Chains A and B, each alone.
Chain A
Amino acid sequence: MDVTITEYLAVDLDSERWKCRSCGHLLGSARADYKHGLLVHARNPAEIHKPMLDPTKYAYTYCPDPNWCAMLEFYCPHCGTMMEVEYTVPGHPPICDIELDLDDLKRKWLKWQAEGIDLAPAKLAKTPAATKPAACGHNHGQRGKA
């Protein structure tokens, strides 16, 4: 069963592998950092954030300083989808930005399935009604009951 994690990442709960949502390519163990299964390219920030002010005239030009700011682009090795961009300092190890507890994920997913909750990834939960049950004479399990 595939569980959506981000726009471009899913986890196949059966094989416990990361999966590219664009092409279905399996990327690596979902108990490890998904970035381990991707391609990385250190992009020159000036290619994306071009100087707007003349660099021959000004010290600050609307373009990040490449000696201070690096951009790491992470691509699916199979389809080239850019799954993440990390703004970091040159030489800083990439951040592991998602670390799943797969066992808890499986438990929760099975529970939601059993409860008949719509598991479509874009769905927003309904805001629960405010304290509407009529005069029922108890406190609905609120914290701090005397």
Chain B
Amino acid sequence: MSLSDQTLNAAEREKVQRFLATNTPFIGPDWDLLRDHSASPRDACEAQVLGGAFNADEFDDIRASLQATLDESFDHTQNMIVSPAARFGDMTLCIFTASGDLSLASTRGVMSFCANAYYPIKYVRKYFENDPSVGLREGDCFIFNDPFYGGLHSPDQGSFLPIFHEGQLVAWAGIGLHEGENGAKDPGGMGPNIESPWDEGLKMPPFRFAENYLVRRDIMNFLQNSCRDRRLMGADLKVKLAACMRIEKRLKELIKEHGKDVLVGGLRHNIETLSAEAQRRVNEIPEGTARGQIFLDTTMREDVLIRFHCAVTAKGGKLIIDMRGCAPQFANRPINAPYSSIRCGVLMALAYFIWPDIPHTPALLAPIEIITDPEGLVSATPDVPTALNMQPLFKVISLLHAAIVRLTFGTPLKYANPMAPWFNQVVSFMYGGITQHTEAVGNICGDLNGFPGGAKWNDDGEHSLCPSFAVKVDIGEAEDVEEDLPFVYLVAKRLLLDNVGFGKFRGGGGYEFAISNRYSDFWGFAAIGGGSKFSTTPGIFGGYGCSTYPVCRIKNVDVFEAIKRAPERFQPSMIYLMNEQPFENATYDTHRAALPFEMAAKGEVYLQSQGAGGGYGDVLDRDPERVMKDLSERVVSADTAREIFKIVFDEATLAVDIAGTARARQQERSARMKRGIPYAEFVKQWNRDAPPPGVPYFGGWGTTDFKLFVDGKLSDTDRPRPVYMPDPKDVRIAQLEAQLEAQLHALGQGK
């Protein structure tokens, strides 16, 4: 019998309700808050200001001042922060209304850190503000990182501070950034080895870490004790508080200048103005549907094929992003993404690639609807690990970007250059160990930010400019890194030949780099990428995508000693080092781009290359002079110029034979018409009901009516349980045992 069935009088019911409200054993994630990105209704003050006569010019002045405040605080914080990633710019500062809706964010940095930050603020207001054991006071500062409470993934941390005026809560200041080390199973807060949410280190729903503008020593001590890098944790708690306090100081100055009510109205006005503008822009998009799919070829521990599918429909003033048909969750792999992470990807695609001209805030999501399977790789549940959920997130950015370009290319109302997708893989090394300064550290290199750009409709893509998830961040200087950390860059930021998305306009090229531990007796590296078997970044409108990218290793060598002995055997080129194998007795191998953390002895070499931005348009339409320029700058090879772009030229002078090139290109067009098969005939031969035998395929198979496959087999349910993958070492042991048994059997000694 439930309580509602019992006969209780009003007083008893009230008593029961009070008991339940104050004795909840555990306040878990609030799913309504997590899914609902709409702004709260106007509060009384906002309604009063915006419902009456207001001065829009004054709101503009306030917005400009707040923007300057956030950007000034960004610079200030960047110079104080210890987190290496935040020093490269992987950080955002922002300001919220009293209800917790983000009003404005810094123009620099990574907006994803604050895209979901409304949620922990609203969570605190809902569950803690009126709880006498917590409460909410001037000078409080909260921290969070859990992706099911408004974080993005576990290495990121956010903080927020309430701003009061004469005892009334009027706003919140916030900061989000990639801290890295958080006590996870592997150094740096994330990595391929993470197999459960409990391997992810600190799991922080929002809680108060500072009171009366002071970091609580006991809390700081606890957090420092929970991770490897105590200096980073301790110092950055203070920096986060200081960043929020600086925003608070400036906001109070604005209250003095304009009055509290005008400021509150201005904060709200930003949200409503941007929501209305986003709505207006969505209304302009011709109705229809654009689709795309991208495949990820790793769980981080084994090669599998994981499908991400996205159908974007403009209809009735809504932009509906339908992610159904993606893969199921993995119970023990870290690439699952909560819904909130996918929403971040949607926001970043819109803000960075579709509407870069207006302030980047979640208000842009007002006309957006996101549909996912109830549970899946892009709608993960808290019982699966999510530390590397940027794998799905980055694919969402590419898919949504390409889909909206397809829907809007021909319209006269668009706000960014149409372009092919930006590179979308994480190419960087994570590291951990004891530095030459005897500090324990764990984090990620700034190469993370070196993604090449997609080709534009009217120009080539940028080489290794910035990541798809942030437009104004840096890749850092090798010299700075080498000062702090015990490894050196043997090859640093050198463009890899022929590593661009070919097209009428080519995607940006990626740089190669090689690092080696020089000074530490206790050091290791990991990598967290994908796309070693399947190209993850497509081109658009006839442009080609990126290649595939492994991690390369040269082990059992001290490269510094080898260079001392025979300097002529070293060249700063990954292709040379791997193909020529110049160091005797060293072990050379390639590994999928996800490399579980492993120890790296002094002088062992780890090499990678950034990928490439997608190409735009038909390679045969590329201006031959652009090809020659690329050739002269060592972006493409002579073979590529001849075989892919069909240029006839003099290799010594790079003079183009214009008539010869026209002939070669016409021959290629004729060859295409000869080898191409009419669509109806082609699909009869090509289409299959299932993935190729032997390919461990996860996700929907089909264009609109999907059949779900799990590990290459047709699923008997639309809602499979999270897939539990066997330990790759057990798989390998079983393979070796089978081989051994077969050999013994052949010798007549089998079981």
Interfacial residues of chain B within 501-556, with CB under 8 A of chain A in the complex? 502, 504, 532-535, 538-539, 541-545, 547-550, 552
Contact A89 B53 (CB under 8 A): no
Q: Which residues of A contact B675 (CB under 8 A)?
A: 41
Which range holds the interface residue count of chain B? 35 or more
Residues in B with CB closer than 8 Å to A60 are 532-533, 548, 550, 590-592
Say yes or no: is B406 at the interface (Cβ < 8 Å to chain A): yes
User: Across the interface, which residues of A come within 8 angstroms of B687, CB to CB?
Assistant: 91-93
Q: Give which listed residue, B458, B533, B579, B620, contacts A68 with CB less than 8 A.
A: B533
**Known A7-B409, A98-B406, A145-B50; 12 more pairs at CB < 8 Å:** A8-B542, A37-B679, A53-B578, A62-B548, A64-B534, A68-B692, A82-B620, A93-B686, A93-B702, A101-B287, A124-B417, A125-B412
Are A40's CB and B679's CB within 8 A? yes
- Total number of residue pairs linking A and B with CB closer than 8 Å: 306
Min CB–CB distance A107 → chain B (angstroms)? 9
Contacting residues, chain B, for A144 (C-beta < 8 A): 39, 41-42, 272
Contacts of A40 in B (CB 8 A): 676-679, 682-683, 686
Task: Please measure, in the bound complex, the distance between the C-alpha atom of A87 and the C-alpha atom of B531, giving whole angstroms.
Answer: 12
Residues of B within 8 A of A94 (CB): 679, 683, 686, 703
Interface of A is mostly: loop
Listed residue (A8, A93, A100) with the most chain B CB atoms within 10 angstroms of its CB:
A93
Shortest Cβ-Cβ A-B pairs, 6 listed? A39-B676, A80-B669, A91-B688, A60-B550, A4-B410, A146-B47
Kindly supply a per-residue 1/0 record for chain A positions 75-97, scoring 1 wherever the CB is within 8 Å of any chain B CB and 0 otherwise: 10101111111111111111111
The answer to whether A121 and B305 have CB atoms under 8 Å apart is no
Residues of A within 8 A of B679 (CB): 35-40, 94
CB distance B590 to A132 under 8 Å? no
Contact A49 B548 (CB under 8 A): yes
**B547 near A62: Cβ-Cβ < 8 Å:** yes
Residues of A within 8 A of B (CB): 3-8, 10, 35-42, 45, 48-50, 52-54, 57-65, 67-69, 71, 73-75, 77, 79-101, 104-105, 108, 112, 117-125, 127-128, 130-146
- The answer to whether the Cβ of B96 comes within 8 Å of any Cβ in the partner chain is no
- Inter-chain contact B535/A97, CB cutoff 8 Å: no
Is B644 within 8 A of A6, CB to CB? no
User: Which residues of A sit under 8 angstroms from B291, Cβ to Cβ?
Assistant: 95-97, 99
A141 to B277, CA, bound (A): 11
Could you show 7 A-B contacts with beta carbons less than 8 Å apart? A36-B680, A82-B542, A89-B695, A97-B406, A120-B412, A134-B55, A140-B276
**Residues of B participating in the A interface, judged by any CB pair closer than 8 Å:** 39, 41-42, 47, 50-51, 53-57, 59-60, 63, 269, 272-273, 275-277, 279, 284, 286-293, 295, 297, 305, 315, 357-358, 366, 403, 406-407, 409-417, 457-458, 496, 498, 502, 504, 532-535, 538-539, 541-545, 547-550, 552, 575, 578-579, 581, 588-592, 609, 616-621, 644, 668-673, 675-680, 682-683, 686-688, 690-692, 694-695, 697, 701-704
**Of B417, B545, B549, B686, which one neighbours A87 at CB under 8 angstroms?**
B545
Contact A131 B273 (CB under 8 A): yes
Query: Do the beta carbons of A82 and B414 come within 8 Å of each other?
Result: no
CB distance from B486 to the nearest CB of A (A): 28
A residues within 8 A CB of B549? 62
Q: Residues of B contacting A108 with CB < 8 Å?
A: 284, 286, 411
Nearest chain B residue, comparing its CB with the CB of A36: B679
Distance in angstroms from A17 CB to nearest chain B CB is 15
Tell me which residues across on chain B come within 8 A of A138, comparing CB atoms. 53
- Whether A81 pairs with B56 at a CB distance below 8 angstroms is no
| A134 vs B589: C-alpha distance when bound (angstroms) | 67
Q: Are B579 and A57 in contact (CB under 8 A)?
A: yes
Residues from chain B with Cβ under 8 Å of A133 in the complex = 56
* Whole-angstrom distance between the Cβ of B27 and the nearest chain A Cβ: 29
Of all chain A residues, the one with the shortest Cβ separation from B697 is A89
Q: Which residues of B contact A118 (CB under 8 A)?
A: 412
Tell me the bound Cα distance from A45 to B534 in angstroms.
Answer: 10
- Chain A residues lying within 8 Å of B532, measured Cβ to Cβ, are 60
B678's nearest neighbour on chain A, judged by CB, is: A39
A contact residues around B592 at 8 Å (CB): 60
- Which residues on the A side are within 8 Å of B680 (C-beta)? 36
User: Given contacts A91-B692, A144-B272, is CB(A53)–CB(B406) below 8 Å?
Assistant: no
Chain A residue nearest to B355 in the complex (CB): A127
Partner of A146, one of B42, B57, B691: B42
